[in-house]
């Protein structure tokens, strides 16, 4: 297996494992351990899967927006504010916001597609669990 495929599989498995941990934690919090009927257990599983889907989809969405430059202004302002507040002489790292944006564009972007795909899978499983819950 090539390094690219191995890295891609690793990214998908990591996202799936994080989703599974979030789903298990949310299902435990919503009472799967205390469920007396199958309906209560299905509700807890549905809630857990939905929480995992929301976390993964929002995380992937934030990574996408960050890659597209949606948070550049906040990041630039925060860095400039931190440098001004630091004791000592203030020296500008960038001459302008445009220079900062151009430097950020040269950096590697965060991968996000695998997070969205795994999140959609968890959302699909949550809908299936909801259908089972409504039938029981």
Q: pLDDT tens, 15-47?
A: 999 999 999 999 999 999 998 999 999 999 999
The three-class DSSP label of residue 30 is coil
Q: What is the pLDDT of residue 19?
A: 97
Closest CA to 121 of 49, 48, 62: 49
For residue 78, is pLDDT > 90?
Answer: no
Give the chain's length.
136
Instruction: Report the largest interatomic distance among the alpha carbons of the chain, rounded to a whole angstrom.
Output: 68
- Beta carbons within 10 angstroms of residue 122's beta carbon: 25
Q: What is the pLDDT of residue 108?
A: 74
């Amino acid at each position: 297996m090539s390094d690219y495929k191995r890295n891609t599989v690793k990214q998908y498995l990591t996202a799936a494992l994080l989703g599974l941990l979030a789903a298990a934690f949310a299902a435990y919090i919503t009472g799967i351990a205390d469920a007396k009927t199958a309906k209560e257990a299905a509700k807890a599983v549905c809630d857990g899967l939905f929480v995992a889907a929301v976390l993964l989809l929002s995380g992937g969405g934030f990574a996408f927006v960050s890659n597209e430059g949606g948070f550049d202004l906040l990041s630039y302002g925060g860095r400039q504010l931190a440098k001004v507040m630091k004791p000592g002489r203030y020296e500008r790292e960038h001459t302008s916001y445009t220079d900062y944006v151009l430097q950020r564009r040269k950096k590697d972007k965060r991968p996000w597609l695998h997070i969205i795909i795994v999140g959609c899978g968890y959302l699909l499983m949550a809908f299936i669990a909801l259908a089972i819950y409504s039938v029981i």
